[in-house]
Amino acid sequence: VDAGPMTDAGPGMTDAGPMTDAGPGMTDAGHDAGGGGFDAGGGGTCMPTVGSFEISEILIASQTGSADRGEWFELHNLGTCPIDLNGLVIDVGGVTHTVASGLLTAGGFFVLAQTNDMVANHELGPDYAYGEAIRFGNSGGSLILTHGATEIARLTWTSTDHRTGRSRQLSRGTSMPSSVGAAGFCDSTDVYSTAVGGPYLGTPGMVNAVCPRTLEAQAASAAT
């Protein structure tokens, strides 16, 4: 995380593809989130392909300042085939890391973080640590995931899209394609750690909550 000041009045994430929601905020790559189209890998697993998983949650800043090491993001398998994450490339601001091993179970979640250090990570034990060279920028940035020559997922944010110590999550029951606009993402309200400096909010490795604006949209639809 960079040391720049943060703005807490973050509106929701928005999508990089065509959308009707005019709100500013995080954008994703606008991929189809269908469960099919997997490439078979070895040992009963599948390779990462477009639409096989999504970035379902991200903590951009766990605390203020350049010393923050509590950043993480979560992947959600959208299909029924376990995904072998070996060879997946994480790219943030041109700094890359290639995942050495990891299995994203069918329909499951996988948390990737800077470190396995429980103190630096505010008592979170991630599934994989990609190292401190990759840092999410408080003033904005992008998280790009590729496998081979294929971009699998992308998430972009600005300074107003996040709050310190609170993750941004994709609303439960929605997915990441271009049909999902700003209402698809929201601030987490569940506490996952009460370590020093906390509480820290998010649902790493667990099912996300339903975003308030998604509930409002559902209610409006039911009323018509």
Question: Can you give the CATH number for the domain in which 41 is found?
Answer: 2.60.40.1260
pLDDT at 207 (0 to 100): 92
Whether residue 77 lies inside any domain: the answer is: yes
Q: Among residues of the chain, what percentage have pLDDT more than 90?
A: 39
Whether residue 4 lies inside any domain: the answer is: no
Whether residue 17 lies inside any domain: the answer is: no
pLDDT at 29 (0 to 100): 41
Q: What is the mean pLDDT of residues 134-143?
A: 87
What DSSP character marks residue 208?
P
Whether residue 188 lies inside any domain: the answer is: yes
Structural domain containing residue 205: 27-223
Q: Phi first, then psi: give them for residue 223, nearest 5 degrees.
A: -80, -15
pTM: 0.75
Q: Among residues of the chain, what percentage have pLDDT more than 70?
A: 69
Whether residue 22 lies inside any domain: the answer is: no
3-state secondary structure of 75: strand
3-state secondary structure of 161: coil
| Mean pLDDT, all residues of the chain | 76
Whether residue 191 lies inside any domain: the answer is: yes
What is the torsional sign of CA 102, 107, 108, 113?
Answer: positive
Q: In which band, very low, low, confident or very high, does the pLDDT at 201 lie, cut at 50, 70 and 90?
A: confident
Whether residue 127 lies inside any domain: the answer is: yes
Task: Give CB contacts under 8 A, 24+ apart, made by 31-39.
Answer: 31/152, 31/153, 31/176, 31/177, 31/178, 32/177, 33/78, 33/175, 33/176, 33/177, 34/78, 35/78, 35/79, 35/80, 36/79, 38/79, 38/81, 38/83
pLDDT at 220 (0 to 100): 53
The partner residues of 158 in beta bridges, in order of sequence, read: 140
Residues 141/135, Cβ–Cβ less than 8 Å: no
Domain count, the chain: 1
Q: In which band, very low, low, confident or very high, does the pLDDT at 27 lie, cut at 50, 70 and 90?
A: very low
Res 221 pLDDT > 70: no
Nearest in space to 10 (alpha carbons), one of 21, 22, 28, 25: 25
For the CA atoms of the chain, what is the radius of gyration? Answer: 16
H helices then E strands: how many in the chain? 1, 17
- In the chain, helix, strand, coil percent, each to 5? 10, 30, 60
Residues 28/170, Cβ–Cβ less than 8 Å: no
Least confident of 17-26, 54-63, 110-119, 134-143: 17-26
Res 181 pLDDT > 90: no
pLDDT at 192 (0 to 100): 85
In tens, the pLDDT along 33-86 reads 333 334 444 459 999 999 999 999 999 887 776 777 788 999 999 999 999 999
Residues 163/120, Cβ–Cβ less than 8 Å: no
Q: In which band, very low, low, confident or very high, does the pLDDT at 205 lie, cut at 50, 70 and 90?
A: very high
Whether residue 20 lies inside any domain: the answer is: no
Q: What is the mean pLDDT of residues 110-138?
A: 91
Contacts of 135 (CB under 8 A, 6+ apart): 1, 2, 68, 71, 92, 95, 114
pLDDT at 148 (0 to 100): 96
In tens, the pLDDT along 139-178 reads 888 899 999 999 999 888 887 777 887 889 998 877 665 3
| Tokens encoding 139 | 């003033």
